[in-house]
Structure 1
Amino acid sequence: MPELRAEDFDFALPEALIAQAPARPRDSARLLVVGADGTRDMGVADLPGLLQPGDLMVVNDTRVIPARLHARRGEARVEIMLNRADAGGQWHALVRGAKKLRAGDVLAIEGAPELAPRVVERQDSGAVLLDFGPDQALLAAALEKAGEVPLPPYIARPDGPTEQDREDYTHLFARQPGAVAAPTASLHFTPALVEALAARGVSQVEVTLHVGAGTFLPIRTDNPRAHKLHAEWGEITPQAAAAINATRVKGGRIVAIGTTALRLLESAVDDNGIVHPFQGLTDIFLLPGHRFHSADVLLTNFHLPKSSLFMLVSAFAGMERMRQAYAHAVDAGYRFYSYGDASLLFRENAK
């Protein structure tokens, strides 16, 4: 494995390029196409012409829940970011003010007095395990009433997320509730774009990866290989795996819509390129040196310097190619991250 440093993935990003609102309509966002023949400036609406009949898009059908809660332990205030559901009504959560908490503490949720989660333990990972009780319908209703859309910290909302954010941060394929961050590549899709892709002969299959709050956490070590991602729950059904493998047999390309779909596929694929059904946790961290077996093409937004996601796209499309592509994106004023523009990346070692 090549030696890596976090500084290898640093670049100058003007703050003004971090998008604070999505393009309208969604498929009017810009699209930077990155392949062996260089880069091309296009638009998301051009995607049908960039894919081929017989290609298969793999989309993540997770739905973001209003996962940020404000709570009190006595007079002490804490902020809870639900991260991942566990068995029996327990949740792993990132808690601002976690040092104030002890096992056995019962928290009062602002705006939802019917909830009284109990602190089970503070974990070595920095997470807190909270027990909300077995009634998940009660929790879901309380989240809709008292929870906030967990927008990333780089989207400035001094007064909190708006109702427009609830709509903007939900993508067209969202079906399965459980994520605390959106698979942002999917935010670009409109019914008209999906219809045009189908007319082109591009098909679609859904998988589920409940994106966790760990996606926002910075890499705090100079050695990326020492960084550990928080585990996230995912599922590839037997039917989805069969559709992916059949596409490969027929010579079609697998197009991962977002890094979350790609991470799940790489968690389930073997060295022969066969994707197996999968259900469970994955903490896979894709770094340069990883050989991809599942996807040929990746649609993804632009990621922040020294982030695990910029490392992932560098692994997929090549470090030097991505350095050049991102330098062009900055110079050309592309908009970055969750509400920003998109890139279409062709795998560096694809046949």
Structure 2
Amino acid sequence: MKVTDFYFDLPKELIAQDPLKDRSSSRLLLLDKKTGEIEHNVFRNIIEFLNLGDCLVLNDTKVLPARLIGSRIGTDAKIEILLLKRKDNDVWETLVKPGKKAKIGTKISFGEGILIGEIVDIVEEGNRLIQFSYNGIFEEILDELGQMPLPPYITHQLEDKNRYQTVYAKHSGSAAAPTAGLHFTPELVEEIEKKGIAIAYITLHVGLGTFRPVKVENVLDHHMHSEFYTINQKEADKMNKAKENGNRIIAVGTTSCRTLESAVKEDGRISETSGWTEIFIYPGYKFKFIDCLITNFHLPESTLLMLVSALAGRESIMNAYQVAVNEKYRFFSFGDAMFIY
């Protein structure tokens, strides 16, 4: 299976640069995974395609305003850093630009000294470990000084930080948003619950590896990045109940999907757990827990496109994507949605 099997031509103008004013007004492409049949709708009508007893699984991770612009102490040269992973004792693994001059011992000032960072080590792929010092609460300082780490294909500035958060974001730790969830409004979530559809929350902190291109020719040679997830028992019980009653598990986003497929036990149940997942889902994979998926439209030749192809079949997905291009659907993080059922 080659990476080029997942290539499609995407006109640049279809990459959504800004979120819609109304989250739930995005378009919705419905794809029947058994027949390949396609319908077009609007996201706020997703409730019409959810059945009594179904369980909708949402990823409640919260994106950190993880992009910090600072200056090198001593030279005042501009340095940009991106927080990737929290380590112990106020040490973070980071991506630093420009990287060449970011040697061990370099000190960086952010917000005129409100936050000071010192590079203490260089790790894999040239990432830097930075030790931070500050007065107060780190998260509050980050809220004040940090910018949202928008994906590289979004060139517009985001006016409202909250538009790159889901309305149910709760646990800070992501370097990118679980974008399928951006379509939900508080009103829509409430309507779904009132209809008798269970909503279960899991947490997977999305890493920047989600944007990492597949650089090998053979799909099987690609190594997935690892991401931390956690599920508590109360939420697991909701999912298990739906499964036992013969109802559907509907994952919202590839992050929820990867979490559930990583956590499911041999008996087909989920229980309280946490850990790191490197699961790579591509055609040929047999799904063990999820039945349906709400997702955005993904990059050509990406691991996310391979995941949705595993669920609906490569030919069906590539056909649906061609239809989406022809119909001028909006792509990627701030784009439109697809429901694979």
Same fold (TM over 0.5): yes
Contact kept, 8 Å, 2:79 with 2:108, in 1: the verdict is no
Identify which of 230, 238, 243 aligns with 2:233: 238
Secondary structure at the residue paired with 2:116? coil
Map of 1:177 onto structure 2: 172
Partner of 2:190: 195
Larger mean Cα displacement after TM superposition, 39-48 or 117-126:
117-126
1:108 aligns to 2:104 (yes or no): no
Query: What amino acid maps onto 1:99 in structure 2?
Result: K
Aligned AA for 2:263?
A
Higher mean C-alpha deviation, range 276-285 or range 186-195: 276-285
Q: 1:349 maps to which residue?
A: none
1:114 aligned partner, one-letter code: I
Would the alpha carbon gap of residues 112 and 317 (structure 1) be closer, same or farther in structure 2, given more than 3 Å must change? farther
Preserved CA contact (<8 Å) 1:132 1:139: no
Counterpart Cα distance in 1 of 2:218 and 2:298: 19
Q: Distance in 2 between matches of 1:226 and 1:291?
A: 19
Name structure 1 gaps, 5 residues minimum: 347-351
Aligned counterparts of 1:127 and 1:285: Cα–Cα separation in 2? 23
Answering whether residue 166 of structure 2 is matched by residue 167 of structure 1, we say: no
Q: How many matched pairs?
A: 337
CA distance in 2, matches of 1:136, 1:305: 45
CA RMSD of aligned residues (A): 1.8
**1:1-351 map, 5 Å:** 4-35=1-32, 36-37=34-35, 38-73=37-72, 74-75=74-75, 76-109=77-110, 111=111, 113-132=113-132, 138-157=137-156, 161-164=157-160, 166-346=161-341
Which sections of structure 2, spanning at least 5 residues, go unmatched?
A: none
Q: What's the CA shift string for 1:216-236, capped at 9, x where partnerless?
A: 222222223333333222111
Q: 1:71 is matched by which residue type in structure 2?
A: G
TM-score using structure 2 length:
0.93
**CA distance, structure 2, for counterparts of residue 136 and residue 204 of structure 1:** 39
Alpha-carbon distance in 1 for matches of 2:211, 2:79? 19
Report deviation, 1:273: 2.0
Q: Measure the CA separation in 1 of the matches of 2:220 and 2:122.
A: 25
1:323 deviates by 0.7
- TM-aligned CA distance change 1:137 to 1:176, over 3 Å: farther
- Tell me which moved more, 266-275 or 25-34: 266-275
TM-score (norm 1): 0.90
Identify which range, 49-58 or 274-283, moves more after superposition. Answer: 274-283
Q: How much has 1:33 moved relative to structure 2?
A: 0.7
Task: Look up the equivalent residue of 2:55 and give its one-letter code.
Answer: L
Give the direction of change, closer, same or farther, for the CA distance of 1:112–1:202 in structure 2 (3 Å limit).
farther
